[in-house]
Amino acid sequence: MSAVFTWTVTAMDCYTQEDGHNNVVFTVHWTCSGVFADTYGSVYSTCSVPAPEGSFTPYASLTQDQVLGWIYANGVDKDATQAAVEQQIQEKIAPTVQTPPLPWA
């Protein structure tokens, strides 16, 4: 089985002003969702990113790919996250855990 994955930046927390720059991102909220046939799974999390060094991209000019690159560079393991989503999907397709009714009910 191989799911199709979509990574999405859902929000970014910013300092209104830092080192002479406006809207400096310090936390990225993200999701990784996957789909296989009609079965979905997803992971939501946040990632702290360090203050910019060197060149600064204004907030309005940031791209999702650029910001996703930041989270991958700062601790988000893309492969492990996708594997976790894939496992979620597999568990929905072929559950390995169940909660049967109580035998005395």
User: What residues are paired with 43 via a beta bridge?
Assistant: 32
Note whether residue 80 is domain-resident: yes
Within-domain flag for 104: no
Asked if the structure places residue 99 within a domain, the reply is no
Range of the domain at 48: 4-93
In a domain, 102, yes or no: no
Q: Tell me which residue has tokens 């830092």.
A: 18
Contact 61, 33 (CB under 8 A): no
**Cross-strand pairs, 9:** 30
pLDDT greater than 90 at residue 96: yes
Q: Mean pLDDT over residues 20-34, rounded? A: 97
- Convert the pLDDT of each residue in 28-82 to its tens digit: 999 999 999 999 999 999 999 999 888 999 999 999 999 999 999 999 999 999 9
Query: For the chain, what is the domain count?
Result: 1
Within-domain flag for 37:
yes
**pTM, full prediction:** 0.90
